[in-house]
Amino acid sequence: MLAATEILDRAGVENAKRDAGLILAHVFKDDIGILYREPDRCLSATEKAEFDALVARRASREPLSHLTGHREFWSLDFLVTSDVLDPRPDSETLIEAVLKMRAQGFQPQRILDLGTGSGCLLLALLSEFPDASGIGTDASEPALAVARRNAERLQLANQAGFRLGNWGEGVTERFDLVISNPPYIPSADKSMLQPEVSEFEPHSALFGGEDGLDCYREILAQIHILLQPGGLLVLEVGIEQAPLVGELVVNAGFVAPEYHKDIAGIERCVMARLGK
């Protein structure tokens, strides 16, 4: 463990000790608690070989979720592969924003998640609204395969459907809630990303053109045939993009955009109602 922590630390991994522990727990096929319940447990030869191989992959900055195949989001366990964006705690801001609307009486029946990836936003929402159903779209068939497996594993497959397409392409019905975490990183910012992101996550889920806002423009060009009048739009945005995306949604006919901050205090979510 000590040696592994040092290897990861030297490779520039941010939370070297935590990641070494999580890799060890994964090799033991258990949760992190195993390291405290059985502090003296030794690795078998096979386990040691597996542990060393995984530490080497993590040292090459492959994300932990790609090694374990899982990532938690909204306290649900999601399968993750290199075909999908890793679910991030920042995105839970969108779920919280919708739940604040629920507290004011909003009860969505039909939810559309544009660019669903792992399905984390749609499935977390459907777990909160058991009477609702929804559709997740994605331009990547391998991503949809991951989303479908997540729906099955979380026993939400009866509420969730998935379709291949660019945003709402081919979707003919209207929804009362549309949610999206589109790619929004400006292309020139690639060099500022951690290697875990820039080298291992799908670029089609990260980059949103020169100013990062291309996908919002594409989504807003389609939104009137996807969202019911009075319906709610909830978008994840990148750093300092909230007022810019707020302006785009107002220009597209939405009223009173609200901004919600993530756990780091960054405005991460733009939420607005479509005018009636």
**Closer to ligand GLN by Cβ: residue 106 or 200:** 200
Residue 117, marked binder: yes
Give the phi and the psi of residue 261 in degrees, each rounded to 5.
Answer: -90, 150
| Residue in 57, 61, 88, 149 binding ligand GLN, rule: CB under 6 A | 88
Q: Does 183 bind ligand GLN (CB under 6 A)?
A: yes
Q: Which two tokens stand for residue 113?
A: 């998640």
| Residue in 27, 98, 144, 185 binding ligand GLN, rule: CB under 6 A | 185
By the 8 A CB rule, do 61 and 12 touch?
Answer: yes
| Residue in 129, 184, 216, 254 binding ligand GLN, rule: CB under 6 A | 184
3-state secondary structure of 125: helix
Residue 146 C-beta: closest distance to ligand GLN, Å? 16
Residue 27 C-beta: closest distance to ligand GLN, Å? 27
Q: How many binding residues for ligand GLN (CB under 6 A)?
A: 11
- What's the rounded Cα separation, in Å, for the pair 81 and 20? 20
Q: Which two tokens stand for residue 141?
A: 């068939």
By the 8 A CB rule, do 237 and 184 touch?
Answer: yes
Residue 119, marked binder: yes
Residue 138, marked binder: yes
Q: Which two tokens stand for residue 156?
A: 């939400």
Residue 105, marked binder: no
Q: At what angle do helices 16-27 and 45-59 cross, to 10 degrees?
A: 140
- What's the rounded Cα separation, in Å, for the pair 22 and 190? 28
Stretch that binds ligand GLN, among 4-12, 26-34, 180-188, 254-262 (CB under 6 A): 180-188
Site for ligand GLN in 187-216 (CB under 6 A): 197, 206
Which string of b and e fits 147-173 if b means at least 16 CB within 10 Å? bbbbbeebebbebbebeeeebbeebee
Q: Does 126 bind ligand GLN (CB under 6 A)?
A: no
- What's the rounded Cα separation, in Å, for the pair 247 and 256? 10
Residue 182, marked binder: yes
Q: Give the helix/strand (H/E) hosting 144.
A: helix 141-153
Q: Which two tokens stand for residue 208?
A: 């949103």
Q: Does 136 bind ligand GLN (CB under 6 A)?
A: no
**Closer to ligand GLN by Cβ: residue 176 or 201:** 201
Residue 185 C-beta: closest distance to ligand GLN, Å? 5
Stretch that binds ligand GLN, among 46-54, 124-132, 175-183, 244-252 (CB under 6 A): 175-183
**Closer to ligand GLN by Cβ: residue 52 or 214:** 214
3-state secondary structure of 72: strand
Residues making up the annotated binding site for substrate are 181-184
Query: Binding site, residues?
Result: 115-119, 138, 167, 181-184
Site of interaction with ligand GLN (CB under 6 A): 85, 88, 90, 181-185, 197, 206, 236
